[in-house]
Amino acid sequence: MPQIAYRPRSAFDTLGVGGVASILWRYFREKAIEQIRSVWFIILYLVAFQTLVLKLPVVFSLTITFGIAIVVVGLTFFMEGLRLGLMPFGETIGAILPRNSRLPLIITFSFLLGVGATLAEPAISILKKAGAGVSPENAPLLFSLLNDFSGQLVAAVGIGVGVAVPLGILRFFFGWSLKVIILPLVTVLIGLTLFATFDPILNPVIGLAWDCGAVTTGPVTVPLVLALGIGVCRIIGHDDSAGAGFGIVTLASLFPVLAVLGLALFHHQAEDYYGARAYTGSVIKEATVIPIVPVPVPDAPVIEEPKPRFTQEEFEAYRRTGDLPPGTDRFRTRYRGGEVTLEDGRIIHRQAEIVFERQDEKGTLKGFFIQQVRNPWDPDLRFGQEMFASLLMAAQAILPLCAFFFLTLLIVLREKLRKGDEIAIGVLFAVVGLALFGLGLTLGLTPLGTQLGSNIPATFASVVPWGQSTAVAPLFDNPVVGKLVTVLFAFFLGYGATLAEPALNALGQTVENATVGVVSKRLLIQVVAVGVGFGIAAGVAQMAFSGLSLTVLIIPPYILLLFLTAISSDEFVNFAWDSAGVTTGPITVPLVLAMGLGIGANIPGIADGFGILGLASVGPIITVLVVGLIVSRSRRAGINKAQDEVV
């Protein structure tokens, strides 16, 4: 009697195609909603500030909206692909490698993991696109690092993370305190920064170097290196420690700064940057540099008088009748100088200079310059080329990392790949998601951040709004008031964006558990958000008040950190320094960086817009360490009080 082979029933047999599609739709809808929750505030805040405060339109609004939607879809697929494809690799290797391998092999794997994970970070592509808006005449070495040596720059950042990961692993093996590494490392970084400050060629690189530390700690690097670190802690018996796995993220933020400064020093000594003796690049000195915006903004805009104006005939009619000419136009009356008093319920303005300004129905003067955007879609957009470039970039970032994981598991550890079909789907999701994210970055996040950054100086200076050809007058007559409004905007941008970071919630729960509720999750989230807000506000203030030096804003906080770190407990040192890594997510980094470059391009005397992310990283470390010291002091006071009561 022939045997009948029974095939297990699959989901398609039970539910059908429609049922499976319905389940998948609900699943991805929930994941997409999670991403929307993390981006809606910052997007709405930026658009509201531009349209309601600056009174300027969002140019190419349909293109930007489409790009932001693609970002949400891309992040949904990428994060799910990370969970299904890359994280199983990292967790499996992190659990097996420390148990079955010797220390040299673990160190080698850790280095390669750090380099590969950095290259797969969604925000790393920002470094490859940020150089187009830098003037080679004002910052020749910075320009060459971002253009001629962009590949070396990304490699240096990857190598910096590659050195940080094995050093963090060694810290776990030998039980080193994080202070032992941080204190000398930060001291060296302060010294190099001071040295670069007094060199006009190296000085513009400072902001880029410190920003690179924020770019590296994203959704790929952090979970993978933490998985490896936790695996090592379990092998050596520290798995129950509150600080298990902590510290690697901190080192992965600091070593890239050292690597970029080292790369800048190398090219400075070699004199092979733009305009130097040994320069061999293809950039011609007379060439025009195109900013990274869809609509070029003139480097030296000609400030035109606001229109429309009163005609000579209207002026003569006003002299005869004393009445402004009738019509659909609107007028604004301004009073300059004189004395203003309140008498019998009436406001009286004596000895004032009266100015009538004519305004048409399209907009008003003094920063209220609204005009209809006739073409909300960018006609120069080449969707097919951008999509292909993003897909190629995503494949080059994800596939080598996955191949490295697979070969390590198969050849080095001699382990079979479990759930291979699920991992393959996850890798596919990660590639597609990263490609969509890159495309959305080009269409939505970068143009939105850049045009807002270009328009923000309109609060205190006459600028040509992004995508327009006519200059507008400052929104505020007093430039200081306009600059303070800009700084306040930057604070709430950093504060709100930080509250939306998913990784911060996980850190807050960890700290709450480690401190037995003394530092609650809510308190830590608020403390970190305030620190990031102050950091971004300081970075924008440095550009708005162009007399400020970036070094003045970076060095003193890090000197303060050296002191706070030295007197703080190891527990809070771990939490505080790692809090800087979780605040710079895939949405915050592109928007803030693009915004900074846009601001820098429209303020005279500013060569670039780097440095904001670096300041955003130092802020939360200070605030968390200060809270940690307060908590530690309260603990000691409580213990002493309890002992006194017992006695």
Query: What does residue 544 show for φ and ψ, rounded to 5 degrees?
Result: -65, -45
Contact 595, 452 (CB under 8 A): yes
Beta carbons of 89 and 402 less than 8 angstroms apart? yes
pLDDT at 183 over 90: yes
Nearest in space to 536 (alpha carbons), one of 578, 591, 469: 591
| pLDDT recorded at residue 348 | 66
Rounded Cα distance between 91 and 237, Å, is 17
- Which 3 state secondary structure label does DSSP give 606? coil
State the helix-helix crossing angle for 588-601 and 479-499, rounded to 10 degrees.
170
Q: In the numeric block, which tokens belong to residue 645? A: 């009561």
User: Could you give the C-alpha distances from 423 to 81, 82, 88, 228, 357, in angstroms and in order?
Assistant: 8, 9, 8, 18, 66
Dist. CA 50–CA 37, nearest whole Å: 21
- Rounded percentage of the chain residues whose pLDDT exceeds 90: 17
At residue 463, φ and ψ (nearest 5 deg) are -135, 160
pTM score over 0.95: no
- The per-residue pLDDT for range 147-169, each reduced to its tens digit, is 889 889 989 999 999 999 999 88
User: Mean pLDDT over all residues of the chain?
Assistant: 78
Interatomic CA distance for residues 76 and 589, integer angstroms: 18
Specify the 3-state DSSP secondary structure of 292.
coil
What was the pLDDT predicted at 225? Answer: 79
Residues 119, 394: Cα–Cα separation, whole Å: 10
pLDDT at 643: 63
Coil, helix or strand for 50?
helix
Alpha-carbon gap, residue 440 to 70, rounded angstroms = 5
pLDDT interval class at 372 (50, 70, 90): very low
pLDDT of residue 220: 78
As a whole number, mean pLDDT of residues 366-373 equals 42
| Token representation of residue 597 | 């470059």
pLDDT at residue 436 in the model: 92
Q: Encode pLDDT of 442-493 as tens digits.
A: 888 888 888 888 889 889 888 888 877 777 788 888 888 999 999 999 999 8
Given its phi and psi angles, is residue 430 left (phi above 0), alpha (psi -120 to 50 degrees) or beta?
A: alpha
- Average confidence (pLDDT) over 618-624: 90
More confident residue, 541 or 365: 541
Q: How far apart are CA 555 and CA 194, in angstroms?
A: 8
Which position has the higher pLDDT, 577 or 130?
A: 577
Neighbours of 496 (CB within 10 A): 16
pLDDT at 306: 46
Confidence at residue 380, expressed as pLDDT on a 0 to 100 scale:
72
Q: DSSP assignment of 152-207, as one string? A: HHHHHHHHHHHHHHHHHHHHHHHT--HHHHHHHHHHHHHHHHHHHHT-TTTTTHHH
Sketch the domain layout of the chain as residue ranges: 48-54+61-281+291-295+390-646, 312-359
Amino acid at 598: G
State whether the Cα torsion 495-595-66-57 is positive or negative. Answer: positive
Share of the chain above pLDDT 70, in %: 76
For strands 346-350 and 339-343, give the pairing.
antiparallel
CA angle 326, 327, 329 (to 5 degrees): 115
Q: What is the pLDDT of residue 320?
A: 66
Q: Which of 412, 420, 433, 411 is nearest to 85 (CA)?
A: 420
Minimum mean pLDDT among 121-125, 371-375, 589-593: which range? 371-375
Q: Are 294 and 467 in contact (CB under 8 A)?
A: yes
Residues 136 and 274 sit within 8 Å (Cβ to Cβ): yes
Nearest to 226 by CA among 244, 253, 251: 244
Q: Residue 335 phi/psi, 5° resolution? A: -120, 120
Measure the CA dihedral 413/419/425/427, to 10°.
Answer: -20
How far apart are alpha carbons 461 and 454 in whole angstroms? 11
Model pLDDT for residues 269-291, shown as the tens digit of each residue: 999 998 888 888 765 443 333 34
Distance set, CA 388 to CA 121, 230, 384, 578 (Å): 18, 38, 6, 36
Burial class (CB within 10 angstroms; exposed 0-12, middle 13-18, buried 19+) of 547: exposed
The DSSP secondary structure of 203-222, one letter per residue, reads TTHHHHHHHHHHHSSSTTHH
Q: Which residues contact 108 (CB under 8 A, 6 or more apart)?
A: 166
Beta strands in 344-464 (DSSP E): 346-350, 353-359
pLDDT score recorded for residue 287: 37
In this structure, are strands 330-336 and 353-359 parallel, antiparallel, or unpaired?
antiparallel
pLDDT tops 90 at residue 206: yes
Six-digit token string for 610: 């780097």
- Do 330 and 359 meet the contact criterion of CB atoms below 8 Å apart? yes
Contacts by 271-276 with C-beta closer than 8 Å and gap 24+? 272/144, 273/140, 273/141, 273/143, 273/144, 273/145, 273/148, 273/201, 274/136, 274/140, 274/141, 274/143, 274/144, 274/148, 275/136, 275/137, 275/140, 276/140
DSSP element (H, E) containing 339? strand 339-343
Each residue's pLDDT tens digit, 532-589: 899 999 989 988 887 678 888 899 999 999 999 999 888 788 888 887 776 667 777 7
User: Is residue 189 over pLDDT 80?
Assistant: yes
The pLDDT, as a whole number, for residue 496 is: 83
Check: CB of residue 404 under 8 Å from CB of residue 90.
Answer: no
| Rg over CA atoms, the chain | 28
Taking 80 as the threshold, does the pLDDT of residue 621 lie above it? Answer: yes
